[in-house]
Chains A and B, each alone.
Chain A
Amino acid sequence: MGDVKLAMIVQKPQYKGETSRLAITHAISYQTVEILLEDGDTVTPKLCFVGEGVLGIQKGQNAMELYGITSTESHMKNTLLVDLDVLVCKEDLDRYGIPEDAMPDADEMGADKKIQVVPYAEIQKAMEEAKHVLFF
């Protein structure tokens, strides 16, 4: 069957519910899915943040100090470290007054990927190219 492309769309803010966090961890799990698939089969998710989903992904989080849990920022860094494509809607960042340079990176961990702040049209394209679209 080869590669199956997925678009995982996060619409809810981090920390307000669980599913927005689960979207990130489900996407990261693409790295180990091959142990359950036939040789040559892969799953390639694109993780997309739109609407209120762009809230709570900025850098500078102190979740471990304040709540005793891993921060979304660290999860975002992990997505980059495992070479996921992460798209954040530019129009929605602008709507909430969040600058592009507030997006975390994982340069210090040696990640090649960076969060891509893109127009919504790019996220629409990712959904059209995917076999399945999962809304979190």
Chain B
Amino acid sequence: MGILTIGCYPGLVGNMSYDFCLKLADAAVGKGHKVNIWFSGNATGSIKSHQKHLKDYSTGEKHLQALIAKGVEICTCEACTVARGIQKTEGIEGVQWNAMHWYLAKVHASDRVLLIGGE
């Protein structure tokens, strides 16, 4: 089995690229692959806990929690996250906080890398 690292940059709401990242990760981990997800840019807004799932909007929280439970490593760019007013105490449990070198380190060990660009 391989290692897949996904860089996810789009925001949670406003397009379905973020949703695609999470579903792709779920499919890959379901096939037995090791998966890492790096959030940067607007995607970092998705790690805030207590999201309310209104039917008109995408939600990330329950999907992120399910992926973490399956062993997917998820990390948010700390600078991008605090720039959006989100503190560590407000984040979803299990999401790691680090700097951009976390992504490069995961890329180093990966068989495949995807970067899903943001806005």
A residues engaging B (CB < 8 A)? 1, 4, 6, 12, 17-19, 22, 25-26, 29-30, 32-33, 35-37, 41, 43, 45, 132, 134-136
Contacts and interface: CB of A to CB of B under 8 A. Distances in A.
A29 B107 contact: no
B108 A4 contact: yes
Given A17-B118, A19-B118, A132 B103 contact: no
A132 B107 contact: yes
Nearest to A31: B101
Nearest to B112: A132
Contacts of B115: 134-136
Interface of B: 7, 9, 40-42, 99-105, 107-110, 113, 115, 117-119
B41 A1 contact: no
A29 B104 contact: yes
B31 to A, nearest CB: 20
Q: Tell me the dominant secondary structure on chain A's binding face.
A: mixed
B7 to A, nearest CB: 7
B104 A26 contact: yes
B15 to A, nearest CB: 13
22 contacts: A1-B109, A4-B108, A6-B107, A12-B117, A17-B118, A17-B119, A18-B119, A19-B9, A19-B118, A22-B9, A22-B41, A26-B40, A26-B100, A29-B101, A29-B104, A32-B99, A33-B104, A45-B104, A132-B110, A132-B113, A134-B113, A136-B115
A46 to B, nearest CB: 13
B108 A1 contact: yes
A136 B105 CA distance: 18
A26 B118 contact: no
A19 B41 contact: yes
A43 B107 contact: yes
Contacts of B119: 17-19
Contact of A18 (B42, B104, B105, B108): B42
A35 B108 CA distance: 13
B9 A36 contact: no
Nearest to B38: A26
